[in-house]
Structure 1
Amino acid sequence: MHADLSRLTFRPERHYAAVVAQQGRVQLDADTNEQTAIQLHQTRTLAADLIGPHGGPRDAAGFRIDHVGGRHDLDTLHIHGGRYYVDGILCDADRPAPGVPVPDEDDQRAATPETPGHWTYWDQPDAFLDPERPGDRLPSPATAPFVVYLQVWERTVTAAEDPALREVALGAAMPDTAARVKVVWQVLPLSLGALEIEESEPSRETVRDAFARWARRRSTPSARLAARAERPGHADEDPCLVKPDARYRGPENQLYRVEVHTGGEAGDATFKWSRENGSVVLPVDEVDGTWVQLATLGHDDRLGLDVGDHVELTDTAHASRLDALPLLRVEELDLPGRRVRLSGEPAPGVGRLPHLHPSLRRWDQHAGPRRKGRTTALRGGAVPVTEGEWLPLEDGVEVYFATGGTYRTGDYWTVPARTATGGVEWPTDTARRPLLREPAGIIRHYAPLALVQGEQGAVDLRLAFAPLATGVPAADEAALAAEERAGREEQAAEAGPAGTPPRPGADPGDTTRGDR
């Protein structure tokens, strides 16, 4: 998640049930975020255990799919409202009502806006599909049947993207407060060939089984990374910054983020990194060629821009699509005008629509890793992935990509670096060798929704569950009478013979009589 965090501490293998705050202690963002992560993990694990990999409530299951063929227009899908759970994550397909505005003074009749009862393939809220892009168009079911599936993942939203999160009473000079995590759901097509199904009319179970195998392959990343801090060879040139024996030489605590930019195999994949977890984001007001007008240049020099920085111009649509956009270099700063000139013009269609909240995200690689006396050139502003060797980032921080990995755009790892220890926080074995770890995210979840078969319509592939609660059975008259008799007999036994007072100090519940 791109947020201003100190570190991420939740580890499910530790089996922590709660975070316990202690009096008189400093409150950290990591503790609060871990408590949230623990609760989410418990809730979603319980839901997945009870529901299964995916399913919806029997009377309110969402994401029913209707295929609508267009004679003159493009084909589309109708995505009906309701709720559906994927790996325990709640996905809500209900379309919000637009609300009723106050009528004009000249016309007191308040017209109620028409509310579509469903989403369509083209206007679903998080996919941002473009009919002009051939890869976004639906296949023709008359040519070959295809599966419609649900892809679910989460991304971070800050006040730069959703200004309503900012408390304006704090003033414009103050930074924003908390960020949000948004559940992103996207309804997408998938060919039967991708599922390795050769039948033209497969059964529901055949499709579900094949889809489960495909989803497992897609959900399990093969990329692995390790991190460490090694005292660089030039450390003695400025020994006063930190402890002389420190391996991490940075002047401040940082949360490094290593994120895959261009996916693929090692020869094609690239990555970018940030010492601020990718949280330096500046809202964009206007794009004019290579000049970008910003709403602010940052709160200070550390969280602002400088000539030579690499930036990524993005917006809500491209962030939701996980597009690998060009990384451009800052060539010139116009401080009074809050403008920056970039090394190239941003990608077409990016940053031009204000309602998509365009922003400029800073990344901190200025050059590729320096190895064996040579500096590796950047590729499109990003660092080429080199497997099987340690790659220096800065100030002694190094990362290592395991061989044989396949990289996906958006996958990331975080590496906390601390001046107090002069090192990084990364798991090691008993010999203090760094361990290879899967990406911390993005975790993708999948569920099949329908099999579209041309004139036969869409075959529903969803699963449903019934409520667990049932009515309380009414007691019969005989049971009630027997219960009443038992109560009277118990009271009589406790009272004893008439006129016999209880012994002094005796237990009122003791029904024994006489001396012993």
Structure 2
Amino acid sequence: MHADLSRLTFRPDRRYSAVVAQQGRVQLDADANEQTAIQLHQARTLAADLIGQHGGPAGDAGFHITFKGGSRDLDDLIIEGGRYYVDGILCDATRPLPGVPVDDEATDGATGKEGEADAPEPDEPPATWTYWDQPDAYRDPERPGDRLPEQRPFLVCLKVWERSVTAAEDPALREVALGSAMPDTAARVKVVWQVLPLAGSALELENPEGASKDQVGKAFEAWARKASAPGSRLAARGERPEHADEDPCLVRPDARYRGPENQLYRVEIHEGGTAKEATFKWSRENGSVVFPVDELDGTWVELASLGGDDKLDLGVGDLVEFVDTAYTSRGEPLPLLRVEEVDLPGRRVRLSGEPEPGVGRRPELRPFLRRWDHRESARRPRKGAAARLKRGALKVVEGRWLSLEDGVEVYFAADGAYRSGDHWLIPARTATGTVEWPVNAARTPLLQAPAGIQVHYAPLAWVTAEQAELDLRMVFGPLATPAPAADARALAAEAEAEAETRAGEDAEPEA
């Protein structure tokens, strides 16, 4: 998650069941976040063990799919409300009801003028979602790739993942009583569900048109395992730079990490693919430095703030990502832009290019700039240094150590398959002069799978050529059952036992 964190300490393999606070100690964000992660892990593991990989409560299972073909209009899906669990994660498709506005005329005691027609009754709000208006998918009818497949059959699946939300995207999270000069407080983690089509050709089915429910389900499970399995690995280390002796007063001489402050480095894949195609970006602040956008005018962007200090501000040469809610939810990377000019009095910056047409034009999607800390070197990169940029991001180079800054280096394992959004977190500490990363007995850094994004899938429906839907959902009933009533035989046996006990007590001789 992109949040201002010190580090993330939850490790399921350590089998901790709780975080215990001790008196007189400093309270850290990592401890509180680990407690939340422990409880969430326990709850979701229990739900998955009882429910299975996916399922919904009988009578209120959500995400029932109805295909709605259009002769002239676009094909659509009706998504019914209710609850559904995917790998223990609760997905709620209930559509919120709109609020009821106050009737001003009734409040003021006024009446309409004579002869005026009554205002028409508002339309009944829809009780279901559709493929085109579902809350977190942001499908665009103008984009052919977003339309439902014309070739039948195809599968409708539920994609589930989580992302962080800060006050830049949801201003209601900010406590206004603290004042605008204070930073925001806590961030949130949001469950994102998206109902998406999957071409039938993507599943290994011998006869897709005549496939049974069981065959489609097993083929989808095989596809989902491949789609969600991590395909890349990375290692990190602190290595004393060649010119470390030039600044002996900043940090201790033997330190491998040469930065002046503790940092949480984030290395994130920008564009996915093979090593030849993939790019990455990095931030020393976990990608948490953001600037809400007030107005966009060509390449000029007016911001709500330019940052609180020299560490968290924007400067000429910084690389930024133009982000809004739809861009984040779609997960389709666009080129990073460089800050070319800063207008301090006007709180404006001029970017190296105009943002893509589909991003940042709708204020309700809360656009903002996210700063990344890598730079493009004007000189030819030396061995082990970052290469030239590709669409604003660094090219992935496998099989050798790549230097980020201040002695922090990363290593991409060979033959990786990279996905946009995959990321690794690297805490760097001045007290130890190195980074915190798993190592073996010989102190060699270990390759690690990405810390996220973890994507989960569940099948919902199989749409055939006849436009009929085969429901692929699973349901479960409540565990509780009525307590059994005592039958006559049990009552008689109990009464007989009590009578025998009393008779035995009466027959005992007096002492």
Deviation at 1:497, TM superposition (A): 5.3
Deviation at 1:112, TM superposition (A): 6.4
- Once residues 385 and 474 of structure 2 are traced to their aligned partners in structure 1, the CA distance between those partners, rounded to angstroms, is 57
Equivalent residue for 1:329? 338
Equivalent residue for 1:146? 154
Equivalent residue for 1:195? 203
- Report 1:437-448 matches (<5 A): 437-448=448-459
Equivalent residue for 1:117? 127
Equivalent residue for 1:381? 392
Deviations 1:143-178 (A, max 9, x none): 421000000000000010001111111111111111
- Once residues 198 and 480 of structure 1 are traced to their aligned partners in structure 2, the CA distance between those partners, rounded to angstroms, is 61
- Once residues 304 and 507 of structure 2 are traced to their aligned partners in structure 1, the CA distance between those partners, rounded to angstroms, is 88
Amino acid at match of 2:22: Q
**What TM-score, normalized to structure 2?**
0.94
Is contact 1:370-1:392 (8 Å) kept?
no
Deviation at 1:455, TM superposition (A): 2.5
State whether structure 2 residue 183 is matched by structure 1 residue 175: yes
Equivalent residue for 1:41? 41
Deviation at 1:372, TM superposition (A): 2.9
Amino acid at match of 1:454: A
Equivalent residue for 2:16? 16
- Once residues 506 and 187 of structure 2 are traced to their aligned partners in structure 1, the CA distance between those partners, rounded to angstroms, is 67
405, 421, 431: which is aligned to 1:410?
A: 421
323, 332, 350: which is aligned to 1:314?
A: 323
- Once residues 364 and 373 of structure 1 are traced to their aligned partners in structure 2, the CA distance between those partners, rounded to angstroms, is 18
3-state secondary structure, aligned to 2:132: coil
477, 480, 489: which is aligned to 1:469?
A: 480
Equivalent residue for 1:274? 283
Structure 1 residue runs without a partner (length 5+): 501-513
- Once residues 355 and 269 of structure 1 are traced to their aligned partners in structure 2, the CA distance between those partners, rounded to angstroms, is 32
Deviation at 1:274, TM superposition (A): 0.2
3-state secondary structure, aligned to 1:151: strand
Is contact 1:99-1:113 (8 Å) kept?
no
Amino acid at match of 1:85: Y
- Once residues 470 and 386 of structure 2 are traced to their aligned partners in structure 1, the CA distance between those partners, rounded to angstroms, is 56
Task: Report the more deviating stretch, 395-404 or 320-329.
Answer: 320-329
- Once residues 118 and 491 of structure 1 are traced to their aligned partners in structure 2, the CA distance between those partners, rounded to angstroms, is 67
State whether structure 2 residue 166 is matched by structure 1 residue 158: yes
Deviations 1:67-95 (A, max 9, x none): 00111110000000111111111111111
Is contact 2:386-2:403 (8 Å) kept?
no
Deviation at 1:380, TM superposition (A): 1.3
Shift in alpha-carbon separation, 1:28–1:492, aligned structure 2, 3 A: farther
- Once residues 168 and 277 of structure 2 are traced to their aligned partners in structure 1, the CA distance between those partners, rounded to angstroms, is 32
- Calculate the aligned-residue CA RMSD, in Å: 1.9
Equivalent residue for 1:230? 239
Deviation at 1:367, TM superposition (A): 2.2
Deviation at 1:40, TM superposition (A): 0.9
Equivalent residue for 2:251? 242
Structure 2 residue runs without a partner (length 5+): 113-117
Deviation at 1:479, TM superposition (A): 2.1
- Aligned residue pairs total 498
- Once residues 112 and 250 of structure 1 are traced to their aligned partners in structure 2, the CA distance between those partners, rounded to angstroms, is 61
3-state secondary structure, aligned to 1:446: strand
Amino acid at match of 1:165: L
Equivalent residue for 1:503? none
State whether structure 2 residue 375 is matched by structure 1 residue 363: no
Deviation at 1:478, TM superposition (A): 3.6
Equivalent residue for 1:434? 445
Deviation at 1:304, TM superposition (A): 1.3
- Once residues 259 and 22 of structure 1 are traced to their aligned partners in structure 2, the CA distance between those partners, rounded to angstroms, is 35
Equivalent residue for 1:507? none
Is contact 1:314-1:350 (8 Å) kept?
yes
Deviation at 1:340, TM superposition (A): 0.5
Amino acid at match of 2:353: G
Shift in alpha-carbon separation, 1:370–1:493, aligned structure 2, 3 A: farther
3-state secondary structure, aligned to 2:390: coil
- Once residues 374 and 139 of structure 1 are traced to their aligned partners in structure 2, the CA distance between those partners, rounded to angstroms, is 44
Deviations 1:388-444 (A, max 9, x none): 000000000000000000100011000000000000000000110000000000000
- Once residues 474 and 270 of structure 2 are traced to their aligned partners in structure 1, the CA distance between those partners, rounded to angstroms, is 36
137, 150, 163: which is aligned to 1:127?
A: 137
Deviations 1:167-191 (A, max 9, x none): 1111111111111100000001111
- Once residues 135 and 61 of structure 1 are traced to their aligned partners in structure 2, the CA distance between those partners, rounded to angstroms, is 29
**What TM-score, normalized to structure 1?**
0.93
Is contact 1:314-1:325 (8 Å) kept?
no
Identical counterparts, % of pairs: 70
Equivalent residue for 2:432? 421
